């Protein structure tokens, strides 16, 4: 497929017209306010990723790619060594904002490799190559999301009920998204599904973002609390579970928003296929299993007071607020990627996927 500037600019993360900033939709303010922010400094990019103004593994990768280009463009260093050291320091700082999301470090390494591989060129030429690389990261994600959506759609029948957790739509990625991409693509082709969107506590990405995207796209969506997943499955309303992923280990274990593992356990109990959807860049073959995935702990106030007029727990009450959990590969029916559908045994077939590439 041919990706156009119009395609890129329609995404929730894109480069500004003058190329001097990264433009994002501030996802913290949705669904009631659609506000665009421009990111120009390392601190602005770091805070946008850290505070989830931009979130979703692919969107974070796109933001990192464009962000590193913007920082390179703004650099006044003209000799290679000074330019490299400054950009490397800024890049490492940005990567530290969300250590679990492999797309962030993946995009950063890819951008810095351009710098490292072209040290013989003038800095001005390296900046041009960084622009091309950042656009390539975005274009590839649009193409990947389209392919993932096609593969996912092949597993569904018209009228199926699909349960999803967290948000892996266009806001978190590009074009159709990943986990809800098949339903978005299906709607575009006149195929209707019934989607159940977990609210996804404590940050409510499913309520604020997934239900927002699906409703705007005309998809039949029903919002449920996380602890209602069991009853809708028991009622026979769910024929498949589609969720995103922030990191997939070499054995098929994967990290996704907190609560995903519980959904997988319920799906296994009720005999419902459970799929994770994501680009191959989310697969970390250097990570042997889920025990090696670092889980980010977030601010306790997200549980205690974030969504309330007054705190819902005493200040003295301890809070445990992990951002992700790890779903065991034995609970997973298949991994849907841009390169195809990967079935068990995952340790064998994931390795084979990369060997074939």
In order, the DSSP letters of 210-222 are IHHHHHHHT-EEE
Q: Would the CA dihedral through 136, 48, 55, 169 be positive or negative?
A: negative
Query: What pLDDT, on the 0 to 100 scale, is given for residue 85?
Result: 97
Q: Determine what percent of the chain is predicted with pLDDT higher than 70.
A: 99
Three-class DSSP category at 316:
coil
Q: What is the CA radius of gyration of the chain?
A: 20
- pLDDT of 87 > 90? The answer is yes
Structure tokens at 243: 């969720």
* Pick from 175, 123, 181: nearest CA to 150: 181
DSSP state for residue 351 in the 8-state scheme: H
* pLDDT band per the 50, 70, 90 thresholds, residue 281: confident
Q: Please tell me the CATH code under which domain 157-356 is placed.
A: 3.40.50.10470
* pLDDT band per the 50, 70, 90 thresholds, residue 57: confident
- pLDDT of 9 > 90? The answer is no
* pLDDT band per the 50, 70, 90 thresholds, residue 356: confident
Q: Can you tell me the mean pLDDT for 294-322? A: 95
Peptide bond into 202 cis (omega under 30): yes
Q: Can you tell me the mean pLDDT for 61-68? A: 96
Query: What pLDDT, on the 0 to 100 scale, is given for residue 2?
Result: 83
* pLDDT band per the 50, 70, 90 thresholds, residue 134: very high
Quick check: 149 and 184 in contact, CB under 8 A?
yes
Instruction: Give, for 89, the enclosing helix (H) or strand (E).
Output: helix 80-95
- Active site amino acids: 246
Fold of 5-145: 1.20.120
190: left (phi over 0), alpha (psi -120 to 50) or beta: left
Q: Can you tell me the mean pLDDT for 322-342? A: 97
- pLDDT of 5 > 90? The answer is no
* pLDDT band per the 50, 70, 90 thresholds, residue 178: very high
Quick check: 39 and 48 in contact, CB under 8 A?
yes
> Where along the chain do its domains lie?
5-145, 157-356
DSSP state for residue 209 in the 8-state scheme: I
Say what the pTM is: 0.84
Terminal CA-CA length for the chain: 20
* pLDDT band per the 50, 70, 90 thresholds, residue 342: very high
Q: Can you tell me the mean pLDDT for 287-306? A: 95
Average pLDDT, the chain: 95
In order, the DSSP letters of 130-191 are HHHHHHHHHHHHHHHHHHHHHHHHTT--TT-EEEE-S--STTTSSTT-STTHHHHHHHHTT-
Cα–Cα distance between 127 and 330 in angstroms, integer?
45
Instruction: Give, for 88, the enclosing helix (H) or strand (E).
Output: helix 80-95
């Amino acid at each position: 497929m041919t990706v156009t500037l119009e395609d890129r600019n329609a995404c929730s993360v894109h480069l500004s017209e003058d190329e001097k900033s990264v433009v994002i939709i501030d996802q913290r303010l949705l669904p009631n306010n659609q506000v665009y922010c421009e990111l120009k400094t390392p601190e602005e990019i770091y805070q946008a990723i850290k505070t989830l103004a931009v979130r979703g593994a692919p969107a974070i990768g796109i933001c990192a790619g464009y962000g590193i280009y913007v920082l390179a463009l703004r650099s006044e260093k003209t000799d290679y060594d000074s330019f490299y050291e400054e950009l490397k320091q800024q890049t490492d700082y940005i990567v530290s904002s969300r250590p679990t999301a492999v797309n962030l470090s993946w995009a950063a390494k890819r951008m810095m490799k351009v710098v490292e591989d072209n040290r013989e060129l003038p800095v001005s030429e390296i900046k041009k190559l960084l622009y091309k690389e950042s656009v390539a990261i975005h274009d590839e994600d649009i193409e990947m999301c389209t392919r993932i959506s096609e593969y996912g759609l092949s597993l569904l029948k018209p009228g199926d009920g699909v349960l999803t957790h967290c948000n892996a739509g266009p806001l978190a990625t590009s074009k159709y998204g990943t986990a809800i991409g098949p339903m978005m693509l299906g709607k575009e082709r006149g195929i209707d599904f019934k989607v159940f969107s977990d609210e996804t506590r404590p940050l409510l990405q499913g309520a604020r973002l997934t239900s927002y995207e699906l409703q705007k796209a005309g998809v039949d969506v029903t919002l449920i609390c996380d602890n209602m997943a069991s009853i809708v499955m028991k009622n026979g309303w769910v024929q498949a579970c589609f969720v995103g992923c922030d990191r997939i280990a070499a054995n098929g274990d994967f990290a996704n928003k907190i609560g995903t593992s519980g959904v997988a356990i319920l799906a296994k109990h009720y005999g419902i296929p459970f799929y994770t959807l994501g680009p191959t860049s989310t697969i970390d073959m250097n990570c042997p299993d889920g025990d090696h995935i670092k889980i980010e702990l977030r601010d306790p106030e997200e549980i205690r007071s974030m969504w309330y007029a007054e705190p819902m727990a005493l200040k003295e009450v301890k809070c445990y607020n992990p951002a992700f959990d790890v779903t065991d590969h034995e609970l997973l029916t298949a991994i849907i990627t841009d390169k195809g559908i990967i079935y068990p045994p995952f340790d064998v077939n994931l390795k084979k996927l990369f060997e074939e590439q």
